[in-house]
Every structure is written in structure tokens, then in C-alpha cells.
Amino acid sequence: MGRIKKKGTSGNAKNFITRTKAVRKLQVSLPDFRRLCIFKGIYPREPRNKKKANKGSTASTTFYYTKDIQYLLHEPVLQKFREHKAFAKKLSKALGRGDYSDAKRLEQNNKPQVKLDHIVKERYPTFTDALRDLDDAVSMLFLFSNLPTNHNLPLETIANCEKLTNEWQHYIIRTNSLRKSFLSIKGIYYQAEIQGQDVLWLVPYKFAQNVPVDVDFRIMHTFVEFYSTLVGFVLFRLYTQEGLVYPPKFDEEADARGAGLRAFSLEAKSIGLLPATGKGQKNTKAMTKQMATLGEKIASLEEAEDDTNTDMIQEEDAAAGEATIDTFKPVTTSGADILLQPHMGNVGTAGAADPSCLFAPFTFFLSRETPRPPLEFLLRSFGCKRIGWDLVLGDGAFTENESDPSITHQIVDRPPVYQAALPPVPESDGDEEMEDASRSKRVNGRIPGRIYVQPQYIWDCINIGKLLSPNEYGPGTLLPPHLSPWVKIDEKTYDPTAPGAAGGEESEEEDEEADNGMDEDLESGDEEEEEIGAVILGPENEEEEESEDEEEKAQQEYQRELEAEAAGVKLPVGNKKKDKKKKSKQEREEEEQKDMQKIMMSRRKRKLYEKMQYSNKQKEDEVENLREKRRKLDKEKKKAKA
Amino acid sequence: MAPPTSQKRRIPPTDDFEHSDVSDDDFEVGLLDGALSQNEDEDEDDEEYELDSSGEGSEEEDENEDEDEDEESNSDSESNDPPKVTAKLSELAITKPDKFESSRKIVLDSAGNQRYIYPEIDPVYDSDDTDAEETNTIGNIPLDFYDEYPHVGYDINGKKIMRPAKGQALDALLESIEVPRGWTGLTDRNTGTGLKLTDEELEMVRKIQMDENIEGYDPYQPTVEYFTSITELMPLSAAPEPKRRFIPSKHEAKRIMKIVAAIREGRIVPSKPKEAAKPQFYDIWADELPPRPDHIMNIPAPRLPPPTHDESYNPPKEYLPTDQERTNWEELDPEERKKDYLPRTHSALRLVPGYDTFVKERFERCLDLYLAPRVRRNKLNIDPESLLPKLPSPQDLRPFPTTTATVYRGHVGRVRTLSCDPSGVWLATGGDDGTVRVWEILTGREVWKLQAGEGGEAVHAVKWRPGRDAAILAVATGDDVHLVIPPIFDPETEAASKAILAAGWGYAEIVKKDPLKKEPPAKWTKPEPHQQELGTAVIVSVKHTIKHITWHRRGDYFATVSPEGQNRAVAIHQLSKHASQSPFRKARGIVQRVEFHPFRPHLFVATQRYIRIYDLAKQELAKTLLPGSRWISSFDIHPGGDNLLVGAYDKRLLWHDLDLSTKPYKTMRYHSKAVRGVKYHPGGLPLFCSASDDGSIQVFHGKVYSDLMENALIVPLKVLRGHRVEKSLGVLDVEWHGRECWLFSAGADGTARMWN
């Protein structure tokens, strides 16, 4: 006989430690422990045998992996926490004595700073690991950059988050790595592919966020502290690999004027400012300069207008059907600003071939009611270089002039208002020439020669990966449904785009039959009934009395339904029930055999089998529910048409 | 201290003459004094002077003399005679210190003068009694102890202190009405008079009470500087000032130079220089290692699932909830909701409102990340159908009974038991109505009937004797077993059967003669003539109700079971000798069934819990099987002899492989009620069945391989339903046909059925 094993020295009892014990072992306060766990990414575990892990007690507790806690013992951050505790004592002592200068000096010189660099390296030993875990980090930073400050949330944190998110967006624009985006009721989802890793993040709509009382901002803040470090290091690496200087130059003045993304200017490592960003910077640098040149521009435009405008309109009409890109060729001739000239040589091919240059040949203009930041981000990351917007939306636009003839697409999100319904526009004194020029071009409040679309157009184009026909997206039209690009479609899921999504052609036929029945008189209904009755009676079985009864019942019910439908009254029972009743003999035999097989299963397997059947049934029901609704909608549509 | 006499003298002469009775001398002196002296104080001084002079030296005497001279100059009545003066002095000296008179001794010296000798003074503490006041010495006792005495105590000399004269009752009354000034209501212990406070004392008391300063106390006295107020004219020390007081310290200069040098060298800086701000971010993955395989305990947090169509701001219409779904969702607790949002639709992007629980959702994600226990779960991504065991198709395992072929109707009440005869033509049944009926199997015609149970006793068991040479039916009713030869066979068979049954009578006669033999467990009797006419050949009676009969394969022995029979529950009867024996001496549980092994000399006895296998040749217990059920109802032995089927009242059907273990090889629980009968097919088909109180018979394919290494294959084939359940009893007995795959069942609904 071997040695008697002592209890609690191996296995679950040794591998897991309760939270209380962990806190005692580390000799920290619970909030400090929480911070430590968040920084180090330590999470509770679920031991396989709770009773053994808890030394025989079955009280519900949180368990940690013992080795996680053991490694924490030597954590430099833990040491910093202790230093901070000592510092806090000194500071409070100084303040208590009224020694404010001393306190200030202490705060300046002696305050321990927690550095999380080593933790980032430790948690993500390779860069790919870090990229894989960016979802939550980026979402969190985007949320925080949209929050108001409060006593828990200093301004610096928010500014830092905003800076990081802008840098993140710049990287994505530069590398064209955005893949998909989705307008949800929660916010806007984006998915980018960076070095083969998908990063999915959610950005809230630009509204004042509702901050509930029961949200503990200290926890969130700890997360943000770590995430901003992580994203900073990731961005550094990404920028460096792209040959850019990190951090990019940040123009505070421009930011104050609402330049958003344009407040940053990327810088190549060796050359200096990049040409693309140089343009941006120029834009931000002198608003006035642009205004000064505007007069010239318009003058030249007017010259060019005579020959270009008519062509444009024609081709616009043609384009309305197909949305081919070549319609906008003549725009190039109005070269007021040479820098801004798009290279139209390969327009048609570039847009079709590479989704990252989807919008490259176009000039967009954002009306003032559209959300600028997401649209700007999306358009720029899909190749669009020339985006103009109303001055209301901030600084840094390609053009603030709505009537700029180089604009090919205008994104509008307001109900269409016809000129006739509008009150006459009061004459303005200044810039009469310009006013006249713009007004002369407007037809029904729209400038001809460009495509007006609603914002959803951009998203749908991006998700499909090609330019869609803008017909369905015109201002004021009923938009097609906006679908999530992440739903994988297989046989079992419901595909709303499929033409026969309602499924079950037979059932539709049945519906039609029923409809017809409603229109016809009672006699024809009787005929039908007889027919069906004959069909049912055909495969009647002489052996089994019960099944006979059942089938009789089914028949009766079916008859009743038919009658009811003929009378115009709807029975709540669906078609499904009928189908069930009509189950053939073979099906029943199969079921019987399944029962037999179940007899021979072990209890454990049977439970598992039943569970799976249950969950499958739930899913099927959900899909069936959607199909049912779709069927109803289709029917209504048909009725409306007829 | 002044003696009392002198005190008296101090009373001014203006006082009333009432005091005159104290002492005549004093009075006269007082009168004299008052007449002679102009100043009372002066007079007093004089007297004091006189007193002092009494103990002093001679020079004072001179002064006395001068005074006397003054007196003499003032008054001519006194004589100027010096000896007289001295005499007077001495007189004074003698008379004045009265109190010493008792203690001193007067002796005459050599000159004949008087000499006073005083007692030696012991110079201890308190020896000086000069300041002793005139006090009452009675101590701290209540004064009313002395109420009946004229005195109030004793003075230091032990003399009584007399109670002062008290006023009349009227005075006391007046005093009580009109409180005199300074009245305290207390009695002075020393004198016995009322203690009165003077105005000054009263004032002092008032001031103390009011926290005022007492008169004469100046709270703002000028401080007197103890040391500096006195200027010393001369220095305390004559040492000269040291030189170091006048020249700068070298040591200090040295230290300052050190500091200056340190500052110059930059070792000391005004404040710690800020560390050159390192760039916050750098390439942390510059030296990244090749990725390692993930540790098993590292469980990365699952990502949030991407949004689905219904989260869209403009979803397809079919995703919008109906009113019913909306109310359902709203009624649910937020924790129970499947999704935390309801699909909504907006016709334009500008109409999309902010999502009000955005922060909360993110916060919950944070909580999940650091607070939720993580566990690695294997997600089974398999087709549930693959879990179903692969069974051979029932079609391949044919033949097996599937439908009712014949219904045998005729019994009144339950059909308890049935048996198929060895030739396979006849079926015998017995029921609660006490009849035994024999049916033609194929047609279902009742060919013969016997009222076996007298007085309505039920027939519990019927069993044909095995072997085709004879046709004998054993019928158990009450305590008896009737061995019956139904008159439906050809005469030869009938004759052979009768011969077999009759052979034993002679043998029984011989045995009976032996008186030493114990009483046998059963009695073999000839039936009544009318019974003989009906076909009953022999009646074997035991003492308890027989529930089960089983034949040995050769047909010479049969065993009966009467569960109430204790140690005689099992009896083995021999046809050829008309003899019975009870194999067990003592009861081991209630016996349910017994069976003979198909070819070995073994007897299987099933009690409620166990099945015991006895080796009849060696006469010992060979094995005990533990089916693990609470109450065995029936069991059957496979024709191969190595497998056993056990049915139990706790709904179980158990398959025992005797070679494997004493525990069951398979336990099948799929009957919803008690299992009443189990049977293997005796004729070589791999079938077995079980009958239950739920009214169903389940037929299985049960193949036993000759290879010992291979376990038996069990495949469920068919559930036969047809018997009605009456009073919670369904099918009571089952029996297979000897060769065909026909199954007979006896139901509680009064029918027997054949299934094929």
C-alpha cells in the first residue's frame, strides 16, 4: 500500500484559490486587486469540482487560478500600488498640516507613476496576439472619446482617447484596411482587416451618452487606462511598419475649428510630410486663402460651365440607370485647382476592380444634416480623396461650396422639398454673382449633374464591394433594408435577400388556393373538399383503427378550415398542423424506429440528444417565424398591387 | 498668650456693670485703668510689655522702671519706692503664669530665696503646647451626649467647659423667627454657643460662591522677575571670554565649502531634474519571440458576436416584432431577455436616436471580462442523429411478431397463465374464473374446458409436460396440482399419458409402508370419479397456494412454487414415483420462481432480490446473481444456458450473462409499468419478449454468439399493443410457440392473443 495521500494537496484543491484568499495573499485592498486583475487580464475560473476546490464547502465563491495569483506576487505594478499608498499617506499628512507647497512638491516629484508597458508585452507576446484582442479596446476608446467629462473622467483621458481613435482611423484610411461597416440601432459597426486579423468595433452615434447611475466609472477607467496603452503601442508598431512617424502631427488650432481627422497630418519617416496629408494641412492652415481663391474659381467655372454642363446633365440621366462611372468625365475640365484634379484616366476600371478604390474617382459633398465623421472615414478609407462638406460640419473640407461643379455625388438625408413649395429666397447683397450662378443651376433644389443619395448608399456599396445603382437610394425614397454583412447564410438560416425567402412553395400555393376559395362561391369550395377527402381516403389502412380515427379527425378539421375560409373567417390554425396530421405511414414508422433507438441509448447520451433536438427546434422555430411573417408581408404586397 | 485675667481686663469700661460679678479685683483694676489711661491701646501695649518682661533680662526691667516712673509721674497715688517695685514685679511673676503653678516646684535656694524648678521639657513634636488653643477635647462625638450635663466637654487641662447660659424660651422663639445676622444654625463645638459668622466672613463666603476674588487678593500683581529683577553687580565667574566667540568657525567654513563644491560640480541641484521624457510608446514587439502554443489554462475571452440583421437601423420588415412579441419582450425581466434590444426601423439615418444603454452595455462587457468565471466548454458540433446508436434495421432481423393474429376469447376475468403444447397445436390457458381451456392455436377455437378450481379458485399456472410421447397438462389451482390428460388427443397418446401417470401408484404404496420416513411435502391422491371422467388423473396437494409450475426437460420431474410456503416454498415432484421432496431446509426470502437449467442439473431459484443457482448433483449453491432490482417478478433462461432474462416489478428488464458477472449485462427501463413476464424463444430464434402492466409487449432481437468473447447483441424490434389495461393490470403472461415466431400473451382483459 502506498502512502496515504493528504487531502487538499493536489488537483482542484491546489489549483484554485478563492478571491478572499487571493486578496489576503497579495495584501492589497479589494479595489487594488480589481485594478490589478484588469491590468493583468486575470479572470476567475470555474473549477471542475467546486466542492473540492473550496475545501469541502459548497458556498458559492469566485475562484482564481492559483498560479495567476502566484505570479502577481512579483508584479511591479503591485509594488507601485504600495508606493502609492505610502505617497498618499505623506500627501494627506502634508495637507492635514496645511503644508500646501510641500504637498505640491510631493505631488510633482514623488508621485509614483504606473507603467503598463511590460504588462502589454506579457499579455500579448506577439503582435498578432495584440491585434486579435483589439475589438474591445477600440470600441472602448471610441465610447470614451464621445463621453462628457466628470469628476471620475478627467479631460485628459477623453482627449487621449480621441487622439488615439483618430490615429487609428488614419491608419485604416491610409492602408485601406476597412472591410465592412453596418448601421445598427446601437451605433456604427466597422470591421477592418489588419495583418490578417479582423477587428470589429462599434462607434456610438454622436449624441450625448446616457450615463446610468449604476455604472462604476472607476472600473471603466481602469480598462481605458490599459486599452489606451495597448492601442498606443499597437499604433506605434503599425505606423512604423507603414513607414510613418508616430505620433502624427496634431494641429490644435485646426482641431478647435472642428477639423476632426484633418487635424492630424501623417509624416513619412524620411521624407517629411506626406503629399496627401500636406493637402489636408494646407486646407486647415488657411481658410481665408481658400475663400480668396473662391472668386477666381467660380469665374473659371462659369466659363467652363457652358460647354460642360449640358453634357453632364445628359450623361447623368444615362447614369441614373446603371451608375457607371464614365458619366462624370467632363468634370475634369474645370481645373480651378490643379492639385485637386482627380486622375480620371482609369476611373472605370479602378472602381470596379479594387474595392479599396471604390470611391476614388468621385467627389463627394456631405450636406449639413449628414453625420460627417463616419462618412468621411468611410469614404476616405475606400479611396475617395475629395470630400467636401458644409462649413457647419467643421473645418478641413475639400470644398465648402455646395455648387462646386467638380462634385459628383451629394449625400443628403433630408426629406425632398420642391422649389415651388418653398418661400422665395431673400436676396443677399454680397456675392451676388455666386448666388446667381448657383441658383441658375438648381432644379427642384438640386444641382443637376450630380447624384443625390442617402447615406445608406455608402454603407451598402461598401458591404457589397461594388457600386450599386443609386436609384433606390435617392432622397425621399423608401430605402431598401439595410442588412448586416456578417450573417452567414446556409440552408438553416433565413436569408431575407433570397427571392423565395418565404420558403415552402407548396404552402404559398395553398395560400393562393385559399385566396381563390375566398373569391369563389360556396359550391366550388365543396368540390375542393370532396377532392381532398378522396385523396386522404386513398391510402387508408385497414389494420390500424386509431390511425383511421386520426385521419378522420384531420379530415374534419381541414374541412372546417376550408369552410371557414370560404366564409371569410380565419381560423388561427396554420398550414403546419394540416401537414402534421397528414403524416404518412412511413414517417410514423420512422418515428417509431427512432423511439426504439432511443431505448438503446445511455441516459447521458439521451439527455444530450434531447437537448440538441430542443435547441435545433428553437432555431428552426425562429426561422419559421420569420418565414411566416415574410409570407404575410408578401401576400399583403400582392394584394396592394392587385 | 494672654491669660484669661488680662483678657477680661480688655473689656472697655463703658460696658455694663453686669460683668462686675466675675471678679472684684479686676473690676477695681479696670475702673482704675479707665480712669488713669488716656489711650486704651497704650494700656494694652503696656500690659503686654509687662508680660514679656516677666521672662526677659534685666534691661527690660530698666525700661519697666522708666515706665513706672512715667506712671508715677502721671499718678501720684503710687509710691516711688524701688524695693516695692521689685516686690511688685516678683509678685507679678508669681501670680501671672497660673498654669505653671501645678507643674513647677518651688524650692528654697541657699540664699533662702524661692526657686522655681520646672519639669524637663521633652523636645519632641507637639511638645510645644504654647499655641494650643482652648479646645474641647471630647473628639468627634455628637454634642447631644452632653445634653443632660451642665458642661459641654473638657478643655486641654481636663477642666469642664461649662455650657453657656441659655436664653429663655422666648429668646429662642425670637431667634427662630428673626434670623440674626451671621446665623448659621450650627453650634460651636468648642464653646457650645451658636456659631455665628461675621460680616467679613459672610462677604468672603459670598465672594467664593460667586467666583469673585476675595478681598485682599490681587490677581494682577506685578510679576517679579526672579533672576533678572536682581542685577548682579559682580560677575559670577571671573573667566575671560573665549577666543572662539570672536573668530569664524573653521569647521563650518569647511562644510560650506563642501556644499559649494557639490553645487558647482552639479551634485546638488535645486530640485530633482525631470527625467528626460522618454517617448511614451516604442516598438514593444521589436524582439518578439515565435508564438508559443497556447497554455491549456489560458482561456481568452470570447469575442462579442457580430450584429445580425435585426440590429439594423432599417431591417427587413419581417424582423420587426409583432405587438405580441413586443409585449412579451417588455414583460420579461431584463436578465431573462434573449436579446437586449427590440428591432426598430427608421426611414432615414437622421431619424436614428442615440442608443440609451450604450454605456451600460459596454460596462457589462467590462464586468464580464474581469469578473465572469471562464471555463472551456467543448462545443459539440455534431448531428444529433449521429448520437443514435446504429442498430440493424428491424427489417433485416425478421421474422418477429408484429400484429395480432388470433384473439382467444372465452375466459371470464383475467387470463392468468398460458402454455403451448409440445406439438405446437394446442394452447392451454388458465384464468381467474378457475377454468382451464385448451384452444386450437391457428383457429382460436376452444376445444376443451375444465373447471379445475373448486369454489371459484383461480388457476395460477398451467404447464404442458415436455415431450411428445404423452400429453399431460399440469394445472395449479389453490394448493393442488392437477395432472390432467385433456381428451383431445388420439387414443394412443392418451393411453401413454395415463400409463405414465399411473406408474407411480405402486411405488408410492411401497414407500408408504416405511414408517420411518418423514411426512412428504406433498400428497398424491387419486381424484374423485367425476373428476377422472373429465380428465384429471392425479392430484398433488401441497400445503400452500401454488403460483408457478415448471417441468424438467425430461418430463419426469416438475417443481412447484408456493411463495407463502417458507422453507417448503419449493417442492420437486417426481411423476414416476409419485414422490415429492422439498429441497431446502430453510427459507431464504420469498421464492418467486424456479426454473431448471436447460441441460445441466441446475436449479435456479428466484427470490425477491436474488437468483440462486443450485447444483443438484453436488447439492450445493453454485452462484448467486444480483440483478439489483427490488422485486423480481419472473425470469427465463436462454436455451443456450448461459444467459438469463429477469423481469422485475420496478419496470426493469435485466439481461444477465452468467459468464460475465453476477451483475446484469444490460438493464433496460422502458416499460412504464411493472414487468410481469419475460421469455426467450425456445425454438432457436434469437428473440425474447417482455410483458408489462402498461399493456404492451416488447419484442427484442437478442442474439447470443457462440464466441465467448462477443457480448450478446440486443436490438429492440417491436412494441406490441393490443391488450387493454384493467385495474392497472395489463399483460400477465407470455409464451412463445415452440418453433414458429408466434407469441402468445395472456391479458387482464380476459383474452389471450397470438401475435405473428
**Residue-wise DSSP of A119-174:** HHHHH-SSHHHHHHTHHHHHHHHHHHHTSPPBTTB-HHHHHHHHHHHHHHHHHHHH
**Residues of chain A with C-beta less than 8 angstroms from the C-beta of B670:** 599
Spatial distance between the Cα atoms of A295 and A434, rounded to a whole number of angstroms: 8
Q: What is the pLDDT of residue B238?
A: 84
Of residues A336, A338, A631, A406, the one with CA closest to residue A501? A631
Q: What is the pLDDT of residue B365?
A: 95
HEC profile of B268-336: CCCCCCCCCCCCCCCCCCCCCCCCCCCCCCCCCCCCCCCCCHHHECCCCHHHCCCHHHHHHHHHCCCCC
Q: What is the pLDDT of residue B559?
A: 93
Q: What is the pLDDT of residue A73?
A: 93
Band of residue B160 on the pLDDT scale cut at 50, 70, 90: confident
Spatial distance between the Cα atoms of B183 and B186, rounded to a whole number of angstroms: 8
What are the tens digits of pLDDT across the range B584-638? Answer: 888 888 999 999 999 989 999 999 999 999 998 898 899 999 988 889 999 999 9
Q: For A328-375, list the strands marked E by DSSP.
A: 363-366
The yes-or-no verdict on residue A161 having pLDDT over 60 is yes
**Residues of chain B with C-beta less than 8 angstroms from the C-beta of A245:** none
Lowest mean pLDDT among A379-383, A441-445, A507-511: A507-511
Contact status, residue A347 vs residue A357, Cβ threshold 8 Å? no
Q: What is the pLDDT of residue A335?
A: 40
Q: A91: distance to nearest CA of chain B, Å?
A: 18
Band of residue A117 on the pLDDT scale cut at 50, 70, 90: very high
Spatial distance between the Cα atoms of B607 and A624, rounded to a whole number of angstroms: 57
Instruction: Specify the DSSP class assigned to residue B220.
Output: T
The three-class DSSP label of residue A430 is coil
**Residue-wise DSSP of B579-627:** EEE---SS--S-EEEEEE-SSSSEEEEEESS-EEEEETTTTEEEEEE--
CB contact under 8 A, A232 and B281: yes
Nearest to B362 among A143, A184, A413 (CB): A143
Q: Is A320 on the interface with B (CB under 8 A)?
A: no
Of residues A187, A116, A63, the one with CA closest to residue B304? A187
Spatial distance between the Cα atoms of B466 and B468, rounded to a whole number of angstroms: 7
The yes-or-no verdict on residue B7 having pLDDT over 50 is no
CB contact under 8 A, B355 and A204: yes
b/e per residue, B637-676, with b = 16+ CB within 10 A? bbbeeebbbbbbbebbbbbbbbeeeeebbeebebbebbbb
The yes-or-no verdict on residue A313 having pLDDT over 50 is no
Let me know how long chain A is.
642
Contact status, residue B571 vs residue B580, Cβ threshold 8 Å? yes
The yes-or-no verdict on residue A234 having pLDDT over 90 is yes
At B598, list the grid cell.
436447460
Q: What is the pLDDT of residue A561?
A: 61
Which residues, at least 6 apart from B290, have a Cβ–Cβ distance to it below 8 Å? A126
Nearest to B318 among A125, A592, A629 (CB): A629
CB contact under 8 A, B363 and A215: yes
The three-class DSSP label of residue B734 is strand
Spatial distance between the Cα atoms of B64 and B58, rounded to a whole number of angstroms: 10
Q: Is A364 on the interface with B (CB under 8 A)?
A: no
Band of residue A536 on the pLDDT scale cut at 50, 70, 90: very low
CB contact under 8 A, A212 and B301: no
Residue bearing the bigger pLDDT, B163 or A42: A42
Q: What is the pLDDT of residue A135?
A: 94
User: Sheet containing B731-736: which strands, arranged edge to edge?
Assistant: B404-409, B751-755, B743-747, B731-736
Beta bridge partners, B105, equal: B117
Contact status, residue B742 vs residue B736, Cβ threshold 8 Å? yes
H-type alpha helices, B491-594: 491-513, 529-534
What are the tens digits of pLDDT across the range B682-720? Answer: 888 889 999 999 999 999 888 888 877 788 888 888 888
Checking ipTM against 0.90, whether it exceeds it is no
Q: What is the pLDDT of residue B184?
A: 78
Residue bearing the bigger pLDDT, B326 or B169: B326
Q: What is the pLDDT of residue B438?
A: 92
Band of residue A551 on the pLDDT scale cut at 50, 70, 90: low
Q: What is the pLDDT of residue B602?
A: 92
Q: Is A87 on the interface with B (CB under 8 A)?
A: no
User: Sheet containing B579-581: which strands, arranged edge to edge?
Assistant: B548-551, B557-561, B570-574, B579-581
3-state helix vs strand vs coil in chain B, percent to 5: 25, 25, 50
Q: What is the pLDDT of residue B269?
A: 79
Q: Is A100 on the interface with B (CB under 8 A)?
A: no
Mean pLDDT of A568-578: 50
Nearest to B358 among A135, A187, A371 (CB): A187
The yes-or-no verdict on residue A361 having pLDDT over 80 is yes
Q: Is A136 on the interface with B (CB under 8 A)?
A: yes
What are the tens digits of pLDDT across the range B198-231? Answer: 888 888 888 889 988 887 788 888 888 777 777 7
Spatial distance between the Cα atoms of B657 and B637, rounded to a whole number of angstroms: 10
**Residues of chain A with C-beta less than 8 angstroms from the C-beta of B319:** 496, 626
Q: What are phi and psi of B384, to 5 degrees?
A: -60, -25
Q: Is B716 on the interface with A (CB under 8 A)?
A: yes
Q: Is A414 on the interface with B (CB under 8 A)?
A: yes
HEC profile of B82-97: HHHHHHHHHHHHHHCC
What is the widest separation between alpha-carbon atoms in chain A? 108
**Residues of chain B with C-beta less than 8 angstroms from the C-beta of A200:** 303-304, 306
Contact status, residue A30 vs residue A81, Cβ threshold 8 Å? no
Of residues B639, B433, B380, the one with CA closest to residue A612? B380
Q: What is the pLDDT of residue B658?
A: 87
Size of interface A-B (CB pairs under 8 A): 244
Q: For A447-582, list the strands marked E by DSSP.
A: 451-453
**Residues of chain A with C-beta less than 8 angstroms from the C-beta of B344:** 185
Q: What is the pLDDT of residue A581?
A: 55
B399 upstream amide cis, omega within 30 of 0: yes
Of residues B660, B613, B619, the one with CA closest to residue B637? B613
The yes-or-no verdict on residue B464 having pLDDT over 70 is yes
To the nearest 10 degrees (0 to 180), the angle between helices A545-566 and A505-519 is 50
Mean pLDDT of A292-307: 44
Residue bearing the bigger pLDDT, A618 or A353: A618
Mean pLDDT of A84-103: 94
Residues A17, A18, A24: CA angle, nearest 5 degrees: 95
The three-class DSSP label of residue A255 is helix
Highest mean pLDDT range out of A176-190, A435-449, B676-690?
A176-190
Which residues, at least 6 apart from A224, have a Cβ–Cβ distance to it below 8 Å? A140, A141, A144, A157, A161
What are the tens digits of pLDDT across the range A405-437? Answer: 889 999 998 887 765 555 665 554 444 444 444
The yes-or-no verdict on residue A328 having pLDDT over 70 is no
Question: Left (φ > 0), alpha (ψ -120 to 50) or beta: where does A63 sit?
Answer: beta
Residue of A nearest to B382 (CA): A612
Q: What is the pLDDT of residue B565?
A: 84
CB contact under 8 A, B353 and A207: yes
Q: What is the pLDDT of residue A177?
A: 92
Which residues, at least 6 apart from A436, have a Cβ–Cβ distance to it below 8 Å? none
Give the alpha-carbon dihedral of A91, A95, A99, A104, to 10 degrees: 50
Spatial distance between the Cα atoms of B294 and B314, rounded to a whole number of angstroms: 41
Spatial distance between the Cα atoms of B543 and B132, rounded to a whole number of angstroms: 132
* Amino acid at residue number B715: V
What are the tens digits of pLDDT across the range B641-659? Answer: 889 999 999 988 999 988 8
Mean pLDDT of A444-448: 77
**Residues of chain B with C-beta less than 8 angstroms from the C-beta of A182:** 307, 311-312
Q: What is the pLDDT of residue A71?
A: 92
The yes-or-no verdict on residue B130 having pLDDT over 70 is no
The residue with cell 451483475 is B663
What are the tens digits of pLDDT across the range B86-129? Answer: 444 444 444 444 455 567 788 887 878 888 888 777 777 766 65
The yes-or-no verdict on residue B728 having pLDDT over 50 is yes
Residue of A nearest to B367 (CA): A219
The yes-or-no verdict on residue A374 having pLDDT over 90 is yes
Q: What is the pLDDT of residue A402?
A: 84
* Amino acid at residue number B680: Y
Residue bearing the bigger pLDDT, B305 or A307: B305
Contact status, residue B572 vs residue B581, Cβ threshold 8 Å? yes
Best mutation target, A184, A207, A589, to test chain B (most B CBs within 10 A): A184
Q: What are phi and psi of B624, to 5 degrees?
A: -125, 125
Spatial distance between the Cα atoms of A324 and B260, rounded to a whole number of angstroms: 83
Instruction: Specify the DSSP class assigned to residue B466.
Output: S
Contact status, residue A373 vs residue A394, Cβ threshold 8 Å? no
What are the tens digits of pLDDT across the range B340-385? Answer: 899 999 999 999 999 999 999 999 999 999 999 999 888 777 787 7
What are the tens digits of pLDDT across the range B409-433? Answer: 988 889 999 999 888 889 999 998 8
Q: What is the pLDDT of residue A425?
A: 53
What are the tens digits of pLDDT across the range A5-24? Answer: 888 888 889 999 999 999 99
Q: Within 10 Å of residue B83's Cβ, how many Cβ atoms? A: 7
